[in-house]
């Protein structure tokens, strides 16, 4: 009872802080303090439960119906990244987006940021269909206003409205899912379905959950709203959208599936394959981006695909009654939820620092920021290594969980899905390394390509502090992952009751060995750096600051540098949205020519947008039914009521 009360108080603190932020003269310190207090309460309660505390619930009445809030290990596993990233984002935003900005955008951003965190906190506690939908809608609307913070820009308005249309489509599907669940559960309270439930109803519930939650998670092909929305939002908002809000779709899938008596065979393999395709699609399009925030957004699609592969493995193990496969799948998915929250938040905070210093999101206009922003480069480097799943950082181990599960699945008789998953996971890791070598190299190495890059500087300490905390956690989690195994076991047991604590028993020794090897690697690197910086034995002339070799050019210019687009051009076949127009050079002395390269989102802009435009044009013909006269509208109401009355009179005869 105490743990759930603390988390509920946390939601109240965030909501109170949001209300204070919306006032004409917001008391910033008080509002920030309330938000940080709420995060500390939720983090403490979640850690207490994952470390061995008992689940606790709270009954109350909502709209005249009995409702329940409950904190269990699955809720706690998602509350941890929410309140870690939410609290750090609150600190980061003090200087990145001050409350005293013109147009009132600073106050509105603080209000909706606090409301978003409060709504997601309530969402992870909800065990009642109506409470869940209300919290879901509060989250969706808050994110809409956060994405549209700079609504004076046309591209931002478009991104926010596309997001709103997609999230409400998903909400309609989830409403249908809640209605089906209520019919089988005998009410809106979420309780496990009995084993005698109709398989058709279970399949319908699972299908609606996949579609509705898939919109939020950015699953292929329901992802097309995500890149523009994350690129348009303020960077600390992009961090919480990517690190937590996308994961509410994963949470919903896990929560609803845990209430079903069983998962049909083949559904897990299908979800694994869908996750593999989503991961490859996301990383392929990340390679094509010049906008570094859109690159990070497509990388989030890739990582959500990796998490879905873990969920698919867990479902496969649950359908086959294989506890070890279930534990590896669900454990790997939840571990990657935590890891992605750490390194992707850090990457978006770093992107915000670069945007704050230079005013541009175009990678090709930057370069040489390693000298201009050394602290930012140092803080971002662990995230770049983590996102490419390189040891000793955290994402290496969560993907190692999934590799173990995929090889196990391959040996247990699920060859097609496991083989596809193995190929996709390996290929996605390699392409991610290329994409982020381009990201870091183009931004931080070389020479400045524009005046904006020449005048860049490191941000304030209040922006660097959250980045330093996340960078440290990426390393600490990578080295101390064996300490987190009991927490993951608790969360897996909430998804598959009766599953023993297999991760701590089966992987503790392996992870300790890996941690030892990684620590030895770090010590070797440190020793090498010390050796390189050792003082010389004999005094020498003072070193001169000489320019980089000019490759034969008498006067090299920044434009002669190797660009990020050229670096990724060799991977053009795996970039679905990239289109290039090459010049045709003819003759010994050809005239002037130009090269053009453009990116269009394959599903959103190429496939859906023209069809939606044609449908909207045809639907405009029905505008004549809206003449603006009240008697005509009253006639429509009367005809509708008459039709309902006739249906009620004749339905027994028609259906009988």
Q: What is the pLDDT of residues 357-373, one digit of tens each?
A: 898 898 888 888 988 89
pLDDT for the residue 352: 92
Specify whether 325 is located in the same domain as 222.
no
Contact between residue 464 and residue 375 where contact means Cβ atoms under 8 Å apart = yes
Output the CA torsion 257→262→265→267 (10° steps): -10
Q: What total number of domains does the chain contain?
A: 2
pLDDT for the residue 104: 54
Q: What is the pLDDT of residues 147-165, one digit of tens each?
A: 988 888 899 999 999 999 9
Closest CA to 429 of 390, 382, 473, 479: 390
590 domain residue, yes or no: no
Contact between residue 608 and residue 224 where contact means Cβ atoms under 8 Å apart = yes
605 domain residue, yes or no: no
Q: What is the pLDDT of residues 264-288, one digit of tens each?
A: 888 888 999 999 999 999 998 888 8
3-state secondary structure of 571: coil
Instruction: State the average pLDDT over residues 430-448.
Output: 90
From the number of C-beta atoms within 10 Å of its C-beta (0-12, 13-18, 19+), residue 311 rates as buried
Of the candidates 506, 529, 552, which is a domain's last residue?
A: 529
DSSP 591-633: -----EEEE--IIIIIIIHHHHHHHHHHHGGGGGG--S-HHHH
Specify whether 202 is located in the same domain as 322.
no
DSSP letter for 362, please. Answer: B
The span from the CA of 18 to the CA of 180, in Å, is: 35
Sign of the alpha-carbon torsion through 619, 624, 628, 629: negative
Specify whether 143 is located in the same domain as 278.
no
311 domain residue, yes or no: yes
Contact between residue 598 and residue 577 where contact means Cβ atoms under 8 Å apart = no
The span from the CA of 540 to the CA of 5, in Å, is: 68
pLDDT for the residue 649: 81
pLDDT for the residue 167: 93
Q: Is the peptide bond before 392 cis (omega within 30 degrees of 0)?
A: yes
Q: What is the pLDDT of residues 572-616, one digit of tens each?
A: 667 777 776 666 777 777 777 666 677 777 887 778 888 888 888
pLDDT of 347 higher than 70 = yes
Residues 6+ apart with CB under 8 A from 47: 76, 80
pLDDT of 462 higher than 60 = yes
The span from the CA of 188 to the CA of 204, in Å, is: 17
pLDDT for the residue 536: 61
505 domain residue, yes or no: yes
645 domain residue, yes or no: no
> Residue 58, Cβ neighbours under 10 Å: how many?
16
Instruction: State the average pLDDT over residues 622-644.
Output: 86
pLDDT for the residue 331: 93
Specify whether 80 is located in the same domain as 143.
yes
Output the CA torsion 622→626→631→633 (10° steps): 70
- For 377, the domain range is 265-529
Query: Could you tell me which residues are beta bridge partners of residue 396?
Result: none
The span from the CA of 599 to the CA of 524, in Å, is: 43
pLDDT of 429 higher than 70 = yes
Q: What is the pLDDT of residues 198-208, one digit of tens each?
A: 677 788 889 99
Specify whether 458 is located in the same domain as 484.
yes
Residue 37: pLDDT band with limits 50, 70, 90: very high
Q: Which residue has the higher pLDDT, 126 or 101?
A: 126
Cα first-last separation, the chain: 51
pLDDT for the residue 545: 63
pLDDT of 123 higher than 60 = yes
> Residue 57, Cβ neighbours under 10 Å: how many?
14
Residue located via tokens 């989030």: 300
Q: How many residues are there in the chain?
A: 656
Residue 485: pLDDT band with limits 50, 70, 90: very high
DSSP letter for 547, please. Answer: P
Q: What is the pLDDT of residues 517-541, one digit of tens each?
A: 888 888 898 888 888 887 765 555 5
Average pLDDT, the chain: 86
pLDDT above 90 as % of the chain = 45
The span from the CA of 629 to the CA of 619, in Å, is: 20
11 domain residue, yes or no: yes
Specify whether 224 is located in the same domain as 287.
no
The span from the CA of 498 to the CA of 491, in Å, is: 12
pLDDT for the residue 588: 76
308 domain residue, yes or no: yes
> Residue 73, Cβ neighbours under 10 Å: how many?
21
Q: Is the peptide bond before 581 cis (omega within 30 degrees of 0)?
A: no
Least confident window among 121-130, 540-549, 566-575: 540-549
pLDDT for the residue 145: 93
Of the candidates 236, 262, 288, which is a domain's last residue?
A: 262
Q: Which residue has the higher pLDDT, 412 or 638?
A: 638
Contact between residue 71 and residue 7 where contact means Cβ atoms under 8 Å apart = yes
596 domain residue, yes or no: no
Of the candidates 244, 262, 280, which is a domain's last residue?
A: 262
Angle at 471 between CA 466 and CA 475, to 5 degrees: 145
Residue 209: pLDDT band with limits 50, 70, 90: very high
Instruction: State the average pLDDT over residues 172-199.
Output: 84
Residue 627: pLDDT band with limits 50, 70, 90: confident
Residue 298: pLDDT band with limits 50, 70, 90: very high
pLDDT of 180 higher than 70 = yes
Q: Which residue has the higher pLDDT, 575 or 248?
A: 248
The span from the CA of 335 to the CA of 487, in Å, is: 10
Specify whether 13 is located in the same domain as 61.
yes
The span from the CA of 111 to the CA of 80, in Å, is: 22
pLDDT for the residue 152: 86
Specify whether 276 is located in the same domain as 256.
no
Specify whether 215 is located in the same domain as 288.
no
Specify whether 446 is located in the same domain as 364.
yes
Specify whether 254 is located in the same domain as 319.
no
Specify whether 181 is located in the same domain as 230.
yes
């Amino acid at each position: 009872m105490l743990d759930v009360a603390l988390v509920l108080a946390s939601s109240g603190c965030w909501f109170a802080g949001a209300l204070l932020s919306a006032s004409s003269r917001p008391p910033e310190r008080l509002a920030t303090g309330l938000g940080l207090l709420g995060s500390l309460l939720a983090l403490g309660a979640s850690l207490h439960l994952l470390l061995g505390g008992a689940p606790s619930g709270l009954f109350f009445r909502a709209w005249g119906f009995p409702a329940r809030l409950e904190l269990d290990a699955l809720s706690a596993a998602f509350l941890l990244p929410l309140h870690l990233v939410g609290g750090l984002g609150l600190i980061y935003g003090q200087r990145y987006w001050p409350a005293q900005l013109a147009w009132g955008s600073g106050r509105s951003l603080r209000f909706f940021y606090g409301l978003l965190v409060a709504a997601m906190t309530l969402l992870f506690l909800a065990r009642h269909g109506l409470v869940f939908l209300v919290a879901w809608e509060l989250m969706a609307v808050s994110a809409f206003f956060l994405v549209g913070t700079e609504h004076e820009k046309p591209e931002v308005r478009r991104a926010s409205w596309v997001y709103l249309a997609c999230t409400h489509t998903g909400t309609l599907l989830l409403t249908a899912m809640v209605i089906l669940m209520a019919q089988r559960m005998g009410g809106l309270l979420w309780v496990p379905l009995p084993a005698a439930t109709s398989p058709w109803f279970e399949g319908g519930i699972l299908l609606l959950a996949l579609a509705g939650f898939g919109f939020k998670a950015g699953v292929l092909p329901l992802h097309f709203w995500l890149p523009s929305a994350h690129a348009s939002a303020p960077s600390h908002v992009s961090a919480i959208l990517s690190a937590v809000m996308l994961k509410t779709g994963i949470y919903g899938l896990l929560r609803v599936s845990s209430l079903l008596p069983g998962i049909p065979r083949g559904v897990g393999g299908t979800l694994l394959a869908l996750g593999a395709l989503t991961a490859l699609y996301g990383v392929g399009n990340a390679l094509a981006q010049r906008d570094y925030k859109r690159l990070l957004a497509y990388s989030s699609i890739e990582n959500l695909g990796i998490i879905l592969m873990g969920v698919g493995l867990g479902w496969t193990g649950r359908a086959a009654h294989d506890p070890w496969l279930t534990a590896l799948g669900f454990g790997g998915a939840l571990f990657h939820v935590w890891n992605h929250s750490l390194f992707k938040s850090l990457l978006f905070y770093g992107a915000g620092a670069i945007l704050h210093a230079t005013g541009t999101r175009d990678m090709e206009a930057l370069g040489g920021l390693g000298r201009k922003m050394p602290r930012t480069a140092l803080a971002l480097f662990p995230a770049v290594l983590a996102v490419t799943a390189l040891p000793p950082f955290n994402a290496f181990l969560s993907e190692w969980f999934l590799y173990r599960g995929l090889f196990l699945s391959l040996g247990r008789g699920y060859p097609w899905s496991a083989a596809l998953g193995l190929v996709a996971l390996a290929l996605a890791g390699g392409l991610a390394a290329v994409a982020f070598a381009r990201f870091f190299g183009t931004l931080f190495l070389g020479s400045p390509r524009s005046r904006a890059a020449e005048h860049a500087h490191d941000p304030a300490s209040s922006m660097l502090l959250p980045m330093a905390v996340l960078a440290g956690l990426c390393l600490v989690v990578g080295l101390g992952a064996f300490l987190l195994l009991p927490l993951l076991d608790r969360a897996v047991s909430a998804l598959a009751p009766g599953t023993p604590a297999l991760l701590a028993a089966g992987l503790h020794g392996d992870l300790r060995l890996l941690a030892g090897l990684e620590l030895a690697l770090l010590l070797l690197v440190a020793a090498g750096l010390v050796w390189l910086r050792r003082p010389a034995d004999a005094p020498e002339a003072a070193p001169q600051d000489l320019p980089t070799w000019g490759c034969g050019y008498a006067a090299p210019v920044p434009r002669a540098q190797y660009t990020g687009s050229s670096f990724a051009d060799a991977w053009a076949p795996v970039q679905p949205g990239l289109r290039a127009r090459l010049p045709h050079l003819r003759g010994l002395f050809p005239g002037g020519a130009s090269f053009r390269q453009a990116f269009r989102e394959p599903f959103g802009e190429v496939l859906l947008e023209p069809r939606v435009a044609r449908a909207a044009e045809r639907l405009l013909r029905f505008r004549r039914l809206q003449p603006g006269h009240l008697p005509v509208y009253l006639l429509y109401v009367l005809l509708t009521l008459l039709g309902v009355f006739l249906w009620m009179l004749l339905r027994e005869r028609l259906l009988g």
